[in-house]
Structure 1
Amino acid sequence: MSFLRFAARRVAEMAATLLAASFVVFGAMYLAPGSPASFLLSGRSASPEALAAINAQYHLDDPFFVRYLSWLGDIVQGDFGRSITYRTDVSRLLADRLPTTLLLVLMALVVVAVLGLVLGWIAAVRGGRTDSAVLVGTTLAVGTPSFVAAVLLQGLFAVNLGWFPSSGSGEGFLDRVWHLTLPAIALALYLIGMLARVTRSAMTDALDSEHVTVARSRGVPERQVIRRHVFRNSLGTVLTTGGLIVSTLLVCTILVETAFSIGGVGQLLELSTTTKDFPTVQAISLIIVALFMAVNLIVDLVLPLVDPRITLGTRSSSA
């Protein structure tokens, strides 16, 4: 199968899955108790005429499939609807908050990639006490939820030592990076441990492989053996966790943004869910699903280039 055909098939599969996900995202909100009208009324009684006006304004009295098709058509055109809570376009809310969340996720992803790969590499190559120390450290990291890490880091480095801000997202790029450093570390801690363990396991298996033994017997320098024959052959296993890492970052950012009072999409999702702001929750949920699927698509396309042993379509067909 050619690369272009494989890429086209995966994009088509992604579009079909995203369509099914949009139906689930749209329908799930209407299964929850209560309604947007009850929030808008704030517990006050309303005349049938006022309630009918609210339902008509937000199309709450239209049949379900009519609402879904209308919503889907607007989404395709980039219109996510109007926020019930903030009384403004959801697109504007996302435009104001999405850059902060994306920067936070990107910073956390860099921390995860660097520390996770380095710790896994060191543990596999050195072994012995170093390996044991890395295993203990990663066990503690994996066992620490993001919100617990957020509270601990906030208390130590923000409140007690005053090295970093305890809340907010800052203004300007450098100030924003400074404000998001602790949240990024809290967000990344669990995934550092997970990636380090995956990297260590993959490299340990590669070290025991036959081609590594042959390379060493031919006098290939050890650094070159580790870099070309061990680490490179482990990248396939490491990359397959990419989708899981990104999805975990996107989900856990809700807790971290709330803990640090960061005005990002995660905190917006938490507030919108509480107030049953249907358009905002649906838009954010669909964006998270789309980002997760896009990452998996990129991983599927990159894997055969990184590891020639993986043929096009092997991973997707086995999954």
Structure 2
Amino acid sequence: MMFVLRRMLALAGVLVVSSFLVFAAMYAAPGSPENFLVQGRTVSPDVLAAIRQQYSLDDPFFVRFWNWLVQVLQGNFGQSLANRQDVGSLLADRLPTTLTLVLMAALFITFFGIGLGVIAGTRDGFVDKLVILGSSLGFAIPTFFAALILMSIFSVSLGWFPVFGSGTGVFDRIWHLTLPAIALALPSTAVVARITRTAIREERDSEHAVMARARGVPGSLVLRRHVIRNSMLPVSTIVGVHIAGLIAGSFVVEYAFTLDGIGTLLVNAVQKKDFAVVQAIAIIMVAAFGVINLLVDLLYASIDPRVREVRTR
């Protein structure tokens, strides 16, 4: 319990520091929000001064950051400069698409990445070489290019999946997001499969596995309790890192398939210096990294009790 509490406090500190860094980067970038608001029109200095006063742009940097942080703690992410809408409402409309996309990609990475790695690690010959070749190709193909290939084959040529949009309803959304999720998960699936294969082979040839087989323990039992279980420690770390990075990489797939997720919202917000939107999405990304890393640590403790004993001291 104390370990979880310490990690939650550390996550809160990381959120504050990361939001400060993002706010500082946006503040130092060329251009200004009021220039976007006037849309290139020539306005008087009084109008510019009124705009800056309305959006508190004349306040010192640390004052603006502190005011924003206090509002976030109260559940208020501010108002978008570009859309004149509440940032919370904008995120609520777009988060379901991104979360569904990331969840589907995470399932692909977990099941196909680990599954193919286990198959290649426990089998020699053609199957092993096929998985190695497939993982090399999957890792080498950029996400955007993979999206275009999948779209061309399965949407345009075969017509199995829709080309654009995120769909409405549960099943329609899953149907629309299948190809984007595959494109997003492809490089990570290849990496996880290769690392899982290596970990399985190392554990398969380890001393304790060889001794267990020599004592007459059935091979299937050795595989489950010794080989696969022990190899999941490094694999779970890699899976967690890649799943945490899906949100940051989803904007490429969202742009290719014209999805209404937070990735495209982030790109537009950065271009327009929409501070409130950028800050909110940055907080979401950092929180996702922190939560997934916490889950990976808890998974470590369930896989290897020795990890739990060390962290409770």
Aligned twin of 1:45: 42
**1:242 and 2:239 are equivalent in the alignment:** yes
Of 84, 109, 114 in structure 2, the residue corresponding to residue 87 of structure 1 is: 84
Q: How does 1:60-79 map to 2 (within 5 A)?
A: 60-79=57-76
Q: How many angstroms apart in 2 are the aligned matches of 1:24 and 1:120? A: 38
Structure 1 contact 104–183 (Cα < 8 Å) conserved: yes
Number of paired residues? 311
Separation (CA, whole Å) in 1 of partners of 2:155 and 2:206: 47
Measure how far apart 1:128 and its partner are.
2.4
User: 292-301 or 253-262, which moves further after superposition?
Assistant: 292-301
Give the Cα–Cα distance (whole angstroms) in 2 for the partners of residues 88 and 313 of structure 1: 49
1:204 aligns with 2:189: no
Alignment of 1:1-319 (within 5 A): 4-311=1-308
In the alignment, the residues of structure 2 paired with residue 307 and residue 92 of structure 1 have an alpha-carbon distance, to the nearest angstrom, of 42
Q: 1:79 to 1:312 in 2, by over 3 A?
A: farther
Structure 1 pair 54–107 and aligned structure 2 pair: CA distance change class (3 A):
same
- 1:25–1:313 CA distance, 2 compared to 1 (3 A): farther
Contact 2:109 2:239 in 1 (8 A): no
**Structure 2 residue matching 1:43: 3-state secondary structure:** coil
Q: How far does the alpha carbon of each residue in 1:124-180 deviate from its partner, in whole angstroms, 9 at most, with x for none? A: 100223212111110000111111111111111111111100000011110000000
Identity of aligned residues (%): 50
Instruction: Give the root-mean-square deviation of aligned CA atoms.
Output: 1.3
- Measure, in 2, the Cα distance between the counterparts of 1:246 and 1:62: 39
Moved over 3 A (4+): 311-314
Q: TM-score, normalised on structure 1?
A: 0.94
Equivalents in 1 of 2:293, 2:6: separation in Å? 14
Amino acid at match of 1:275: K
Query: Which residue identity does 2:33 align to in structure 1?
Result: P
TM-score normalised to structure 2 length: 0.96
Task: Show structure 1 runs of 5+ residues with no match.
Answer: 315-319
Alignment partners' CA distance in 1, 2:256 and 2:273: 21
- Residue deviations 1:88-128 (CA, integer Å, cap 9, x gap): 00000000110111011000100111100111001110022
